[in-house]
Amino acid sequence: MAQEAHGAIYDLLAVRGVSRRDFLKYCSYIAATLGLSEAAAPQIAAALEKGAKLKPALWLNGGSCTGCTESMAQVDTPDVATIVLELLSFNYFETIMAAAGKQAEDNIAETIKEGNFILVYEGSVMTGQDGNTLIVGNKEDGSPKKGTEILAEAATAAQAVISVGACAVDGGWVAAYPNPAGAMGVQAFLDKEGIATPVVNIPCCPMNPEWVVAMVVQWLLVADDDPAVFLEKTALLTKTYKDGITGADVTLNYPEYVVGSTIHDNCPRRGHFENGEFVSEFGSAEEAMGYCLYKVGCKGPQTFTQCPVTRWNRSVSWCVNSGAPCIGCGGLNWVDNNAPFFKRLSSMQMGGSLGNVQPGSVAAVVGGVAAAALVAHGLGMKAAGRIGDGPPMETAKKYDRKRMAKGGDK
């Protein structure tokens, strides 16, 4: 099949009714998302317009709910996003591909054989029941194939892996105590198997599609189709955690623009926090006024994602904007570390120079008025509250101890 350039991307744009102006606007948006200056937009446009052949990609689903695929379908500016998706030739994408059964499996095999592809992985890696908690398709002898075997084969041959969503990052809710199906994240699994293919992690449940698109464009634009250059040129932050199944320390790469600051740092309701104006009951007049949700359990102060800036569903809203406290789905082991979700934090992990501090001292930093307000609201002024590595909930001590007795949170 002809694989050469298929003409300027403009033709494609034009037939989709996308104007040159909209296209450049989109490039500026990509620049902003990547943390580049507006001046980079023409360069991005030029790279996109080169009209190289589609980059082959596989989108595999592990122990997933398909929420990340759904989220991908909600990507902004769909006309242009379609282009971006079409810049990738998704030879396998379980939820939307035409082919099924043997024909679908053949698409994977062929892509692996050809090499030079990107692997996107959604969902947890399922290791329970000897790897039989997920079986997909058939081996040559007709017996079912384990999900882990498919991932290992594909990841070995891929240039890079994008782990999308909390489940692919570290097992997500599926790995929450007691992790009945033996779920783990992609990086932990690749470490265990000795597969060195680089992995970039996109957090949250589901992941935000804009963050994925930005990584893809980064690959096409800056990385010259080379994983080493990609790692060198992309601003990454790492987080380390201990995997509950292997017991090994796992180091995760995240794009810095996604996890560089807390939700609390960028929250539009931050002003109300500082003024001591809180929602104390759901659906109340305070909510109608957009007050701070800290008192009903918001995990924004300890959750490092860009949600308030990127927002969700083509930027129309995000969790806090709709009146719900952040449940910290962008964090590690997010269910165990953040539930009970409606209990407020007894300590706040603040980014930067503040480190881990009590809300009282934050209030002291941000101003005397706020401190007074916090006292008035009886908010989190108790100094203690953390037990071991358990969740830092004020009223969860007994609950934590019980879990610790059972082997602790993973």
Residues 188-247 that bind another protein (CB under 8 A): 205-206
Residue whose tokens read 């589609």: 54
Q: Where are the alpha helices (DSSP H) in 263-302?
A: 263-266, 270-274, 285-288
Q: Does 404 bind another protein (CB under 8 A)?
A: no
Judged by CB under 8 A, the stretch of 77-85, 220-228, 270-278, 356-364 that binds another protein is 77-85
Q: Does 137 bind another protein (CB under 8 A)?
A: yes
At residue 97, φ and ψ (nearest 5 deg) are: -75, 150
Which residue(s) pair with 384 in the sheet? none
Q: Does 129 bind another protein (CB under 8 A)?
A: yes
Closest of 335, 271, 269, 326 to residue 302, by C-alpha: 326
When the beta carbons of 31 and 151 are compared against another protein, the nearer one is 151
CB of 57 to another protein, least distance (A): 9
Binder among 71, 148, 159, 349 for another protein (CB under 8 A): 71
When the beta carbons of 54 and 231 are compared against another protein, the nearer one is 54
- Both tokens of 286, joined, read 């305070």
User: How far apart (Å, rounded) are the C-alpha atoms in residues 120 and 69?
Assistant: 10
Residues between 95 and 114 that touch another protein (CB under 8 A): 95-107
Judged by CB under 8 A, the stretch of 21-29, 130-138, 189-197, 228-236 that binds another protein is 130-138
Q: Does 351 bind another protein (CB under 8 A)?
A: no
Residues between 248 and 287 that touch another protein (CB under 8 A): 281-284, 287
**Residues 75, 76, 80, 81: what is their CA dihedral angle, to the nearest 10 degrees?**
-10
Q: Could you write out the DSSP letters of every residue in 140-175? A: TTSPEEEHHHHHHHHHHH-SEEEEESHHHHH-GGGG
Binder among 90, 219, 254, 278 for another protein (CB under 8 A): 90
When the beta carbons of 239 and 343 are compared against another protein, the nearer one is 343
User: How far apart (Å, rounded) are the C-alpha atoms in residues 154 and 146?
Assistant: 13
Q: Does 367 bind another protein (CB under 8 A)?
A: no
Residues between 145 and 164 that touch another protein (CB under 8 A): 147
Q: How big is the chain by its Cα radius of gyration, in Å?
A: 23
Binder among 22, 32, 89, 394 for another protein (CB under 8 A): 89
